[in-house]
Amino acid sequence: MSGIGIEILQLFKAPVTAKAFELFARFINNKSPSMMQTVAKRFDQLLESHHLNGAELLSLIPPAWGWNLSTVENSIQISKALQAEYFSWFAKTFQVNESWLNGSEELAVAHFGGYKHLETLGTTLREDGWVNDELKMTILSEEYAGQNAPLGRYAIVFSKPIAELDREKTIYKHVLFEPVWQWDHLPCRLETKAIARWYSMILMQFGIISIIPVKRKEFEQLIKRKTLPGKFITLESGGYDHFEVRVLNPTESQQTIEVEEIDAVIEHLEHCGFLEAIHG
């Protein structure tokens, strides 16, 4: 049963309310595609964006659910096995919106805020447990041309391990820091470089930040938060330009570029409140 259907049943255990009628109307009018098909499609996207197959998903599922290989054979089987409380587990584990998973909303993910208030981002990362040496930072750039070209529109994604399935495969959840950034807007550029400077030189000691090109149509869906960012992220640095060369000074790397902005980036990082917030 769909998330809305489950919610309707729960509501009708109590006296009928206006919300119950609203949900019931939405449920009976949503015939094409059915809510079951919508939920199944959302789980297909969830598995694809986290590079998971059914057996790997099963290894993450709480044993108390009693799921087996036939339960995760495909997304239809998964949707049939779902209970209302399971949606919140998937949402929290994979950093997606519960209301998107159950088919009642179109926004797939929330995002971390903090543009021009980087102390807000620092506090969120620290309090939500994202600050450790397993954190990944990636730039997704719309139609990026490569060869250290300007980025145009881009998104900043943080990735955090959910589980290590074996020595060769780690599953991550992903979150956007603000939906979209614009490279030719100086405040955007300085904020991005300040965060990258912290990640690459303070947290990770020369950590790599890949710039991954995204096609325009898919990028539009990404910044509207109607698709999951993990879909575009391999977390392997090979074959991509590296953003960190834009935030290093010549004494730190011979490959550094855009050195004319490095002093402003370092000054911004030191005075914006981010460092104090993220390190408590």
Q: How many CB atoms lie within 10 A of CB 254?
A: 8
Q: Please, which pLDDT band fits residue 167 given cuts at 50, 70 and 90?
A: confident
Average pLDDT over every residue of 88-97: 97
User: Which pLDDT score is estimated for 279?
Assistant: 87
- Residue range 211-228: mean pLDDT, rounded: 97
- N-term to C-term CA, the chain: 44
Please report the pLDDT score of residue 13 as a whole number.
42
Neighbours of 242 (CB within 10 A): 18
Band of pLDDT at residue 17, cut at 50, 70 and 90: very low
Q: Output the pLDDT for position 33.
A: 55
What is the Cα–Cα distance from 128 to 45, expressed in whole angstroms?
24
Residue 165 phi, psi dihedral angles, 5° rounding = -75, -35
Taking each helix axis as running N to C, give the angle between helix 186-197 and helix 262-271, from 0 to 180 degrees, rounded to the nearest 10: 70
Contacts 24+ apart (CB under 8 A), 58-67: 59/163, 59/165, 60/93, 60/162, 60/163, 60/171, 62/89
**Residue 230 pLDDT grade (very low, low, confident, very high; cuts 50, 70, 90):** very high
| pLDDT confidence bin for 237, thresholds 50/70/90 | low
pLDDT at 234: 82
**Residues 10, 11, 16: CA angle, nearest 5 degrees:** 150
Average pLDDT, the chain: 89
pTM: 0.87
